[in-house]
Amino acid sequence: MPLTIDWTEYDNLPPREMYDAVGKIIDDAKAAVAAKRAEIAADLAAQNGAQQAADILGISGTRVYQLVARHKANTAETTTEYGVWDTAIPGGATLRAGLLAFLGDAAATTDVDAVEADYRAAINQALAPIGVTLAGDMLYGPHPRTMALAEITAIIEDIDLGEIVARHDEPNA
C-alpha cells in the first residue's frame, strides 16, 4: 500500500518550516499506524478473547490489553450488550435464581437481598477495569467489544460468593 505525499505544497516553505512540516507528516503517519494496530488488536480480542488475539498476532496478552486500552481511549465509546446473565453464568436464568440455587436450603437463614446487593457490587467492581457493568441481568460494555463473554464469565466466577454469603448469614434464624 503506497503512501503518497504531495511535496509541492511544501516547496515554497523556508527550510526550517519544511523540515518541521515533514516531521509532522512522520508523526501523523506513526500515530495513524499505531491507531490501526490498536484497532486490529481490539477487534481480534472482542471476537476471540485477548489470549487468542495475542496468539494470532504473536504478541503478549498484556500487549493486547494495552492496545485495547489505547483503542478504547482513542475512539468514541458507545455501550453495547455483552450478554444476559444466563448466557454468562450457567445455573440460573437470573442472578437471583443462580444465587438461590447456590444457597439451597441456606436461603431460609440468609439475608438474600443483602447477599445479592454485595454480589452485584463485587461483580461490578471486578468488571470495572474492562468497562463492563452488570445492570439487572444484562451485561453492558464498550463498543466495539474489548472482551469475549468467556473472559467476563471467568472474572465473575473468580468472585468468592461463599465469602459474601458468610458475611450475611443470619444468626439464630
Q: Which amino acid is at 66?
A: Q
CA distances from 33 to 71, 72, 73 (A): 12, 16, 16
d(CA 118, CA 141): 21
Q: What is the pLDDT of residue 173?
A: 44
Q: What is the pLDDT of residue 94?
A: 85
| Cell 500487549 belongs to residue | 63
Sheet holding 78-84, edge to edge: 78-84, 138-143, 133-135
| Spatial CA neighbour of 40 closest among 70, 4, 14, 81 | 70
pLDDT, averaged across the chain: 85
- For residues 91 and 102, is the Cβ–Cβ distance under 8 A? yes
Asked if residue 142 has a cis previous peptide bond (ω within 30° of 0), the answer is no
**Three-state DSSP state, 6:** coil
Q: Is the pTM of this model over 0.95?
A: no
pLDDT tens column, 23-56: 888 888 888 898 899 989 988 888 888 888 899 9
Output 81 or 169, whichever has higher pLDDT. Answer: 81
Query: What are the contacts of 65-71 at 24+ separation with CB within 8 A?
Result: 67/37, 67/38, 67/41, 67/42, 68/38, 68/41, 68/42, 68/146, 70/34, 70/35, 70/38, 71/35, 71/38, 71/39, 71/41, 71/42, 71/146
pLDDT tens column, 78-118: 677 887 887 777 666 788 888 898 899 988 888 898 999 89
Cα first-last separation, the chain: 73
